[in-house]
């Protein structure tokens, strides 16, 4: 028996937390939505821009949208529909309606370029799209080259009360000029406004033409695009069972700390991201919570105002956003007496940020781990005791993990190995890509491409991604370790690390730094890192930048750091 067969993490579970989840009660997400909206009918479900919709209204609106898709557009079970919008009330209505109708949801980042949109639309075979008009100009450029036949166009304020709706949409379009001119070609696609779609769906609801198909647990719910564990854009095929299982797995430890039907949750990550979709729009939704949708989390002033007005009990955010809030005097002045915990997703939590959050807010920031291919949550720090900062916590119930070497054999406890995951949340594969699917799914195990260590009591720590590893004179250097050391300096605000070719050592390390204090010098930081890192781990070069390129959820884009370095080299050569 190897170390992992005994599931050492179970020794850290409290008696109240079962090692496995019960069988999922529903065959589909649509069934879950129906039951939840009935059970918590009068309670607030979502709010955005100061307006609240309760569970009963959400159930009606999503029913109407499903009826529109089936009865009016004549879409069939399995058809793909793109949702492209930030956090607005329209998103849960659209995603629940589409899943009730048996469609497959393709989430698209609103910040995609037209070329990126085209690639996703063609690859997925999408036939319909719900898009916020702020980005309709990009859709106009490529729609004729795609299979999109139906466009539902929405405005920011579409589900707000009448007066506020008109005012909000006027300000967005005329005052802030956030809606570029567009002329979507009606010849190649039908065009309907979101509000008209709901009105037509209301009339169609209950008619034979709008009858919902039977959706089974193994049916595909999402095509969720991701860089994947092996690089390159591809779509993870996520089934209804994957989503239902993962929300139940995640809720199991949360139930030990939170009260059903009584929580107010800040959703500062976009719902089109798999983490927020599963955590906010499924798990906390199913728990009867009030999800407060943050449309633009980068507007710190407005976010702080929302926090003050809604008095949340849980915040879902990323480490970088937490750092920005902690720098805000207005945030630090808020009343945090209701806050029970924060859950950080999308990227690793800096230990300095977690410590300061605890000091200011008086509540823990829980770091976990997930990836799109696991729907996405694999592990999380415990809710029943003090989190172990720097780790990704313990595997969720019904989740098996092994750490394996390059030959696929389990490594001894405490040694580094690739994190491999097995459980009901693991995807069925990549869309139309059998080769990459076979590379990462082996005998029911998902090979994540992430390097981790495990402590004897089951706590996991991510060291880094295998492909991000830098080899210096034969020694493995993990960028996150160097970044963490740099971030521990009080004058460093942010850090990113890449490896570059080096004639002497094979590769050398370049550290990019954003200063928290303008007085920081390269010499001062280098001297500090001498005390923190072994010689082969120290950066050969330190580059100061005003900001670092990041994904929409705050991960440093190391490929873009490499490109910046190449641009600097080309500029220097040409001068």
In tens, the pLDDT along 396-409 reads 999 999 999 999 99
CATH of domain 8-19+241-422+440-465: 3.40.50.12780
pLDDT number for residue 302 = 96
pLDDT number for residue 568 = 76
- Lowest model confidence (mean pLDDT) among 74-88, 152-166, 467-481, 507-521: 467-481
- The secondary structure of the chain in percent helix, strand, coil, rounded to multiples of 5, reads 35, 25, 40
What's the whole-number mean pLDDT along residues 272-278?
94
Percent of the chain clearing pLDDT 70 (strictly above):
97
| CA dihedral for 466, 514, 365, 32, sign (positive or negative) | negative
Burial (Cβ within 10 Å: 0-12, 13-18, ≥19) of residue 443: exposed
What's the whole-number mean pLDDT along residues 258-286?
96
What's the distance, CA 323 to chain centroid?
18
Residues of the chain with CATH 3.40.50.980: 29-215
pLDDT number for residue 531 = 87
pLDDT number for residue 187 = 67
Confidence of residue 379 (pLDDT cuts 50, 70, 90): very high
Nearest-CA neighbor of 242 among 395, 124, 374? 374
pLDDT digits (tens, 9 = 90+) for 103-151: 999 999 888 888 888 989 999 999 999 999 999 999 999 999 999 999 9
What's the whole-number mean pLDDT along residues 563-575?
72
pLDDT number for residue 404 = 97
pLDDT number for residue 60 = 98
Beta bridge partners of 470: 477
pLDDT number for residue 452 = 96
List helix spans (H) across 281-347.
285-286, 300-310, 319-326, 329-332
pLDDT number for residue 229 = 55
pLDDT number for residue 573 = 62
The CATH-assigned architecture of domain 469-574 is 2-Layer Sandwich (3.30)
> What is the chain's length?
575
Beta bridge partners of 447: 420
pLDDT number for residue 123 = 96
Q: How far apart are CA 531 and CA 469, in angstroms?
A: 22
Structure tokens at 1: 């028996």
Residues of the chain with CATH 3.40.50.12780: 8-19+241-422+440-465
Average pLDDT, the chain: 93
Q: Are 11 and 49 in contact (CB under 8 A)?
A: no
What's the whole-number mean pLDDT along residues 481-508?
90
CA dist list (Å): 149 to 112, 131, 210, 272, 320? 20, 13, 19, 22, 39
Residues of the chain with CATH 3.30.300.30: 469-574
CA dist list (Å): 373 to 142, 439, 468? 28, 13, 19
Residue 193 has pLDDT above 60, yes or no: yes
What's the whole-number mean pLDDT along residues 174-203?
91
What's the whole-number mean pLDDT along residues 550-563?
84
pLDDT digits (tens, 9 = 90+) for 24-40: 889 999 999 999 999 99
Residue 267 has pLDDT above 80, yes or no: yes
List helix spans (H) across 82-181.
90-100, 114-124, 136-142, 162-170
What's the whole-number mean pLDDT along residues 183-195?
87
What's the whole-number mean pLDDT along residues 50-66?
98
Confidence of residue 505 (pLDDT cuts 50, 70, 90): confident
Confidence of residue 184 (pLDDT cuts 50, 70, 90): confident
Cα distance from N-terminal residue to C-terminal residue, the chain: 63
pLDDT digits (tens, 9 = 90+) for 87-116: 999 999 999 999 999 999 999 988 888 888
Nearest-CA neighbor of 480 among 463, 492, 460, 461? 463
pLDDT digits (tens, 9 = 90+) for 311-358: 999 999 988 789 889 999 999 999 999 999 999 876 677 778 889 999
CATH 3.40.50.980 fits domain 29-215: yes
Angle, alpha carbons 447-453-456 (nearest 5°): 120
Confidence of residue 574 (pLDDT cuts 50, 70, 90): low
Q: Are 303 and 268 in contact (CB under 8 A)?
A: yes
List helix spans (H) across 171-278.
194-204, 240-254, 274-278
């Amino acid at each position: 028996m190897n170390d992992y067969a005994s599931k050492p993490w179970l020794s850290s579970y409290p008696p109240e937390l079962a090692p496995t989840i019960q069988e999922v009660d529903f065959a589909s997400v649509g069934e879950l939505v129906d039951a939840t909206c009935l059970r918590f009918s009068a309670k607030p479900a979502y709010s955005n821009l100061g307006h609240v919709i309760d569970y009963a209204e959400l159930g009606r609106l999503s029913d109407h949208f499903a009826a529109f898709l089936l009865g009016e557009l004549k879409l069939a079970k399995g058809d793909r529909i793109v949702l492209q919008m930030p956090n607005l009330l329209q998103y849960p209505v659209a995603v629940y309606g589409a899943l009730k109708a048996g469609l497959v949801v393709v989430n698209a980042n609103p910040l995609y370029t037209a070329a990126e949109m085209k690639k996703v639309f063609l690859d997925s075979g999408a036939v319909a799209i719900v898009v916020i008009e702020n980005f309709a100009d990009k859709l106009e450029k490529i729609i004729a080259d795609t299979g999109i036949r139906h466009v539902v166009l929405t405005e920011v304020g579409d589900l707000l009360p009448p007066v506020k709706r008109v005012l909000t949409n006027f300000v967005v379009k005329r005052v802030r000029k956030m809606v570029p001119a567009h002329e979507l070609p009606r010849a190649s696609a039908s065009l309907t406004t979101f509000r008209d779609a709901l009105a037509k769906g209301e009339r169609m609801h209950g008619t034979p033409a709008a009858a919902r198909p039977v959706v089974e647990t193994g049916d595909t719910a999402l095509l969720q695009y991701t860089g994947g564990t092996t690089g390159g854009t591809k779509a993870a095929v996520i089934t209804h069972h994957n989503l239902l299982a993962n929300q139940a797995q995640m809720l199991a430890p949360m139930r030990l700390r939170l009260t059903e039907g009584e929580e107010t949750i800040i959703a500062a990550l976009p719902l089109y991201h798999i983490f927020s979709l599963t955590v906010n729009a499924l798990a906390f939704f199913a728990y009867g919570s009030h999800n407060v949708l943050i449309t633009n989390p980068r507007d710190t002033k407005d976010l702080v105002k929302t926090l003050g007005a809604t008095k949340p009990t849980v915040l879902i955010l990323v480490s970088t956003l937490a750092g920005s809030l902690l720098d805000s005097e207005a945030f630090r002045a808020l009343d945090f007496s209701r806050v029970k915990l924060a859950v950080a997703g999308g990227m690793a939590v800096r230990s300095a940020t977690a410590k300061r959050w605890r000091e200011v807010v008086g509540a823990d920031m829980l770091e976990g781990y997930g990836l799109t291919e696991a729907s996405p949550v694999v592990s999380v720090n415990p809710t029943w005791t003090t989190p172990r900062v720097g780790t990704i916590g313990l595997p969720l119930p019904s989740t098996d993990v092994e750490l394996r070497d390059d030959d696929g054999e389990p490594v001894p406890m405490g040694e580094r190995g690739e994190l491999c995951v097995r459980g009901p949340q693991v995807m069925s594969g990549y869309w139309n890509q059998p080769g990459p699917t076979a590379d990462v799914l082996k005998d029911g195990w998902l090979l994540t491409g992430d390097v981790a260590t495990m402590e004897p009591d089951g706590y996991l720590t991510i060291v880094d991604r295998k492909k991000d590893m830098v080899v210096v004179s034969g020694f493995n250097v993990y960028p996150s370790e160097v970044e963490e050391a740099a971030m521990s300096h009080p004058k460093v605000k942010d850090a990113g690390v890449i490896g570059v070719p080096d004639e002497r050592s094979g590769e050398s390390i370049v550290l990019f730094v954003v200063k928290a204090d303008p007085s920081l010098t390269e010499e001062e930081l280098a001297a500090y890192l001498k005390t923190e890192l072994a010689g082969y781990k120290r950066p050969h070069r330190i580059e100061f930048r005003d900001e670092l390129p990041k994904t929409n959820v705050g991960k440093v884009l190391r490929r873009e750091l490499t490109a910046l370095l190449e641009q600097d080299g080309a500029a220097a050569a040409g001068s």
